[in-house]
Amino acid sequence: MNAMSHTTGGNAYNFGFLDEYAKKEIRRAVLKAIAIPGYQVPYASREMPMGRGFGTGGLQLTLALIGPGEVVKVIDQGSDDSVNAVNLRQFIEMTCPGVSTTTRTAEASLIQSRHRIPERPLTPTQILVLQVPYPDPLVVVEPSEDKRKIMHGEADYSRLLVKLYEDIVQFDEITISHRYPTRINGHYVIDPSPIPRWDVPRLDHAAALTLFGAGREKKIYAVPPHTRAEPLAFSDVPFRVEDFRDAAGRRRACARCGCTDSFLDEFSSDAGEKVYQCSDTDWCDEKLLRKESLRGEAA
Amino acid sequence: MNKVLEVRNLSKIYGPGCPHCIESTGPEADTNLCPHCGSVVAIHDVSFDLFEGEILGVMGESGSGKSTVVKALYFDQAPSGGEAIFFDGDTQHELFALNAARQRWLRNHRFGMVYQNPNLGLNFNISAGGNIAERLLMSDLMDYGAIRERAKALLARTEVLLSRVDDLPKHFSGGMQQRVQIAKALATQPPLLFLDEVTTGLDLSVQARILDLILEIQQELKTAMVVVTHDLGVIRLLTGRAIVMKYGRVIETGLTDQILEDPQHAYTQRLVASAL
Amino acid sequence: MSYVAIKGGGRAITGAAAVTEFLRTEQGLGNPAAEPLEIDTILHQLRHLVDRVVSEGGVYHPQFAALAVKQSLGDTLEAAFALRAWRSTRPRLTATPPLDTSRMRLIRRISSAFKEIPGGQMLGPTPDYALRLLRLELIDESPDAFRAVARDWLGSCPEAQLPDSFPKVLDALRAEGLLPPLPHPRPLSPGERGESSAFDITREPLVFPVPRSAALATMARAETGSLLAIAYSNMRGYGDVHPTVAELRVGYLPVLLPHPVTGELAEVGEVLMTECEVVAMYAATEPGGKPVFTVGYGACFGHNEVKAISMAILDRALQKGMQDGPANPSEDPEFVLLHVDGVDSMGFASHYKMPHYVTFQSDLDRLRTTQQKSGEPA
């Protein structure tokens, strides 16, 4: 059948999968997002060959920004080898010939991530792309997008703050665990994607550009380098990151590399014991390498 | 005395409007519905001044347009015409020339509103204290302890039991809901307060206590108020001056005592007579 | 340890693809007569599956739709998804002007508003009045008998002179002044010049409030079941459209595109479409104006009658919601248009299967802290 002749195989696709008009539109949205820090720029999100919710927004950003010579790192839950990260990385390799991939944070020029910001501080030459399921922090207090747009425009976040107030009244704590609402450059409040609270302070005055892509909800927003990013809180009830101290108050360490200042994953070993390990696998590997080389020098 | 509010030629028409709307409606025409285009002339050519610490009554039957006046001034509904100037210390704000963000700022910081229906003034899904906190947060107070203290003080002042500060207002009685609304409206100590039929539908004894509360507040804080009501008793008790409205027009204006003792307009005479 | 379990993610993905491919071809195990499903077979014998996929995929490419059905093992959500993703790689080179559906080459056309309609009712291929009894004889259908059916039917058909086009039922009502005037722009004919003024949802994001053409385009490629469920809520009582099907037509619509040199419109092919126009509760056109019936419009690629009817009802409901404010979910443009897309909704439902342990760690931290605090004396 002749219809079949112009299909199949990665080679039949344009560099970066998307057609060039789509890439241009995304780049324009990115420029606008950088110019208005924290503002959600609507764009005509394209369907990607993976499910909505699997990072199609982040992937469209990556594919629109990527060029030959780029070094790309893809992580999910902090890990390069998580199924979804592998899937996205393979797709980028297939559709972007000439692009190399890495698992080393330090080597990457473009990092696409879901749910984590790498532990190692990013540099001015790096771009971080975060995958976003829910772009609008106001959705918990206002279902209508039309009304939310006005609230954002007027920086009217009192209903969100009341939620924090009610939390403290009821639980004596702010119960928001991840997706912590964060005010950018003193105006727009963003949903920083489902990163843990641990990662939020790293958006503040970061050296690297952070881009947020919501494919299903069709929005792009940005935290430009050296921009204020302040988690919403009360002056006398400060924002707090996850607490990794044990019952005795000691900071838990990674069971693998011994690190005591990284975000830890908790799980049960086959023997039924609680185990803690670095969520950022590259960070953990690096610490481990350094430890081993130190040991080598000592011996 | 310092002027707080100056309203001139305020009008509001619902519908497309036509050149005959004004001449075909009003007390003489005995309707507010334009027979030519079907528009409702809710208010037309309403003017008045309000001074510091003064309570002005706006009275009339339902359909007279009295609620539309305060809804326009509190930015709930944009008027079709006219202007209003709010004098705030040394600053003057031309209310209807402001952009939406400035109007919202004034609403949150400098105005207060108590609605007949507590549903409009309160969020029933957050606690009584949270309702007050919302207004304080709108005015950029960001200290939890201070917000909490202020909410409790306001509820105490409006005689709401402090044990109920964290309860949802939907479980409160009608009278208590109005007290929470008043506490919320007063949270930012606004110099101007709008009260729209706040005691309508409440038991007489509850009404009396709320009216007392309003008077006390006016004496303590020198808040200027516009009180909208169809109840001559409320007008008599609270207000020093009043305007009488019918089918969207002001038909009589003056000192409250004067209006109640010696009404000039036939309609006001009937209204006063029927209440006695 | 479970940490190690996520290592080898690449191997796991390859394995999952291989076992799925095994299921697709399993029939061939030790069975020399087994043959792969031909695209042509899907196109013809599973035509409604293809219709659904071209419609939800939003690309009129029946061959690729059939291929998508084949590779997704018959999962329509997945098949429409693959077609959409393919579409993302194609630039938009041109756009058609509004097309004239009275020029459709019809295979079916009915009106429930009138007993007789100009041009006549034409039942065509429909299961509407078929008894839904299992046809057990099809379990073991012989190829000879199969081939004979179509041949015999064609042979017994009387030669009928069908007109090229049929008038629209709504045109008669409109001429009588019972309907609001036709919204512009007017459909164009070959030889004329003109371009599309419709909102292109594939190139522009929906920013509410959206124009009616954006709502119609969104529903035209919506997932059939989602559209039906929301329309059904309106029919049952969460709404009051009370529709009468003025006309439902299925057929091939000539597609016009501007000639690249002359700019004149020329016919470039035809697409199979279903179109439904419902007449609903009347309303005043303007205060003091004469009341007229209101109209709901539905149209989509392929032969999908339930979808076209659902869309027409929702179009009417949304117009009401846009005018008076939504009184129920089916009248709320944001509620309807943001929840009917199959690719969006199935993707998000599936994404919950992905690892979420960083966020869950964060949840654990909050719960433990809160529990701890509630255990403390106040």
For B3-110+190-275, CATH gives: 3.40.50.300
Residue A293 sits at the chain B interface (C-beta within 8 Å): no
pLDDT single digits (tens) C248-278: 999 999 999 998 888 899 999 999 999 999 9
Let me know if A96 is a catalytic residue: no
Among A55, A78, A254, A259, the active-site one is: A254
Q: Do A162 and B137 touch (CB under 8 A)?
A: yes
Considering only residues C332 and C5, tell me which one the structure prediction assigns the higher pLDDT: C332
Let me know if A38 is a catalytic residue: yes
Using 50, 70 and 90 to split pLDDT, how confident is the model at C171?
confident
What is the pLDDT, as a whole number, of residue C282? 74
Q: Do B15 and C287 touch (CB under 8 A)?
A: yes
Angle at A256 between CA A254 and CA A258, to 5 degrees: 45
Chain A residue numbers touching B144 (CB-CB < 8 A): 165, 168, 234-237
What is the pLDDT, as a whole number, of residue C184? 67
Q: Do A165 and B137 touch (CB under 8 A)?
A: yes
- Domain membership flag for residue C1: no
Task: Please state the rounded mean pLDDT for residues C216-241.
Answer: 95
pLDDT single digits (tens) A249-294: 999 999 999 999 999 999 888 888 899 999 999 999 999 999 888 8
> Which CATH superfamily, name and number, covers A10-231?
Bacterial phosphonate metabolism protein PhnH (3.40.50.11310)
Assigned token pair, A247: 């019952």
pLDDT single digits (tens) C78-112: 999 999 999 999 988 888 888 999 999 999 999 99
Average pLDDT, chain C: 89
Residue C286 sits at the chain B interface (C-beta within 8 Å): yes
Taking one residue from A and the other from C, the number of pairs with CB-CB distance under 8 angstroms is 189
Same structural domain, C281 and C232? yes
Q: Is C257 in a helix, a strand, or coil? A: strand
Average pLDDT, chain A: 92
Interface of C with B in 88-107 (CB under 8 A): none
Question: Closest to B143 (Cβ–Cβ): which among A162, A169, A236?
Answer: A236
Are C53 and C39 in contact, with CB atoms under 8 Å apart? no
CA distance B61 to B72: 18
Neighbours of B153 (CB within 10 A): 14
Q: Which chains touch A (3 or more CB pairs under 8 A)?
A: B, C
pLDDT single digits (tens) C194-204: 777 789 999 89
- Is the pLDDT confidence value at C1 over 80? no
- Is the pLDDT confidence value at C321 over 80? yes
Assigned token pair, B166: 């964290």
Interface of A with B in 135-154 (CB under 8 A): 150, 153-154
Are B192 and B224 in contact, with CB atoms under 8 Å apart? yes
For testing the chain A interface, which of B142, B143, B166 should be mutated: the one with the most A CBs within 10 Å? B142
Are A81 and C9 in contact, with CB atoms under 8 Å apart? yes
Q: Is B77 in a helix, a strand, or coil? A: coil
Using 50, 70 and 90 to split pLDDT, how confident is the model at A221?
very high
Let me know if A213 is a catalytic residue: no
Residue C375 sits at the chain B interface (C-beta within 8 Å): no
Q: Is C304 in a helix, a strand, or coil? A: coil
Nearest CA in chain A to C209: A146
CA distance C373 to C356: 26
Residue B38 sits at the chain C interface (C-beta within 8 Å): yes
pLDDT single digits (tens) A80-107: 988 889 999 999 999 999 999 999 999 9
Share of chain C above pLDDT 90, in %: 58
Residue B152 C-alpha, separation from nearest chain A C-alpha, in angstroms: 13
Chain C residue numbers touching B37 (CB-CB < 8 A): 287-288
Q: Do C288 and B15 touch (CB under 8 A)?
A: no
Residue B169 sits at the chain A interface (C-beta within 8 Å): no
Let me know if A259 is a catalytic residue: no
Chain C residue numbers touching B21 (CB-CB < 8 A): none
What is the pLDDT, as a whole number, of residue B79? 96
Question: What residues does each domain of chain B span?
Answer: 3-110+190-275, 118-189
Dmax over Cα atoms in chain B, in whole Å? Answer: 59
> Is the Cα dihedral B233, B236, B241, B245 positive or negative?
positive
Same structural domain, C72 and C106? no
- Is the pLDDT confidence value at A234 over 80? yes
Q: Do B129 and A169 touch (CB under 8 A)?
A: yes
Are C244 and C79 in contact, with CB atoms under 8 Å apart? no
What is the pLDDT, as a whole number, of residue B276? 57
Q: Do C347 and A52 touch (CB under 8 A)?
A: yes
pTM of the model: 0.85
Interface of B with C in 90-129 (CB under 8 A): none
Q: What are phi and psi of C262, to 5 degrees?
A: -85, -20
Q: Do A267 and C3 touch (CB under 8 A)?
A: yes
Chain A residue numbers touching B141 (CB-CB < 8 A): none
What is the pLDDT, as a whole number, of residue C7? 58
For residue C182, give its domain range: 101-126+136-347
What is the pLDDT, as a whole number, of residue A10? 42
Task: Please state the rounded mean pLDDT for residues C330-334.
Answer: 96
**ipTM associated with this complex:** 0.83
Write out the H or E segment, with its range, that includes residue C246.
Answer: strand C244-258
CA distance C133 to C140: 16
Tell me, what DSSP letter sits at residue C29?
A: T
Task: Please state the rounded mean pLDDT for residues C283-306.
Answer: 85
Report the DSSP pairing between strands A274-278 and A264-268. antiparallel
For testing the chain B interface, which of A157, A162, A234 should be mutated: the one with the most B CBs within 10 Å? A162
Using 50, 70 and 90 to split pLDDT, how confident is the model at C185?
low
- Is the pLDDT confidence value at C378 over 60? no
Q: What are phi and psi of B94, to 5 degrees?
A: -85, 100
Extended strands (E) in B95-215: 111-114, 192-196
For testing the chain C interface, which of A13, A20, A46, A47 should be mutated: the one with the most C CBs within 10 Å? A47
Among A38, A55, A58, A215, the active-site one is: A38
Question: Closest to A145 (Cβ–Cβ): which among C91, C334, C354?
Answer: C334
Using 50, 70 and 90 to split pLDDT, how confident is the model at A118?
very high
Task: Please state the rounded mean pLDDT for residues A146-165.
Answer: 93
What torsion do the CA atoms of A83, A88, A91, A95 make, to the nearest 10 degrees? -170
Same structural domain, C147 and C267? yes
Assigned token pair, C147: 């081939």
How many domains is chain C partitioned into structurally? 2
- Domain membership flag for residue C366: no
What is the pLDDT, as a whole number, of residue C288? 59
Same structural domain, C76 and C195? no
The strand pairing partners of B246, in sequence order, are B249
pLDDT single digits (tens) B141-170: 889 999 999 999 999 988 899 999 999 999
Q: What is the DSSP string of chain A?
A: -GGGTT--SGGGSBTTBS-HHHHHHHHHHHHHHHHSTT--EE--PPP-SS-TTSSHHHHHHHHHH--TT-EEEEEETTBTTSHHHHHHHHHHHHHSTT-EE-S-GGG-SEEEEES---SSPP-TT-EEEEE-S---GGGGT---HHHHHHHHHTT--HHHHHHHHHHHHHHSS----BS--EEETTS-EE---S-BGGGGGGGTT-SSEEEEEETTTTEEEEE-TT--EEE--BTTB---PPP-B-TTSPBP--TTT--SSS-EEEEE-TTS-EEEEES-HHHHHHHHHHHHHHHHHH-
Angle at C30 between CA C27 and CA C36, to 5 degrees: 35
Question: What residues does each domain of chain A span?
Answer: 10-231, 244-299
What torsion do the CA atoms of B86, B91, B95, B97 make, to the nearest 10 degrees? 150
Same structural domain, C338 and C235? yes
Q: Do B134 and A158 touch (CB under 8 A)?
A: yes
Tell me, what DSSP letter sits at residue C219?
A: H
Task: Please state the rounded mean pLDDT for residues B51-73.
Answer: 93
Q: Do A162 and B101 touch (CB under 8 A)?
A: no
**At residue A185, what is the residue type?**
N
Q: Do B137 and A158 touch (CB under 8 A)?
A: yes
Which residues have C-beta within 8 Å of that of residue A284, sequence separation ≥ 6?
A254, A256, A257, A259, A262, A277, A278
Q: Which chains touch B (3 or more CB pairs under 8 A)?
A: A, C
> What is the CB-side half-sphere exposure of residue B117 using CA atoms within 13 A?
3
Residue B35 sits at the chain C interface (C-beta within 8 Å): no
Same structural domain, C200 and C245? yes
Residue B27 sits at the chain A interface (C-beta within 8 Å): no
Which residues have C-beta within 8 Å of that of residue C176, sequence separation ≥ 6?
none
Same structural domain, C176 and C280? yes
- Is the pLDDT confidence value at B138 over 90? no
Chain A residue numbers touching C6 (CB-CB < 8 A): 77, 79, 81-83
Average pLDDT, chain B: 92
Task: Please state the rounded mean pLDDT for residues C152-170.
Answer: 81
- Domain membership flag for residue C368: no
- Domain membership flag for residue C355: no
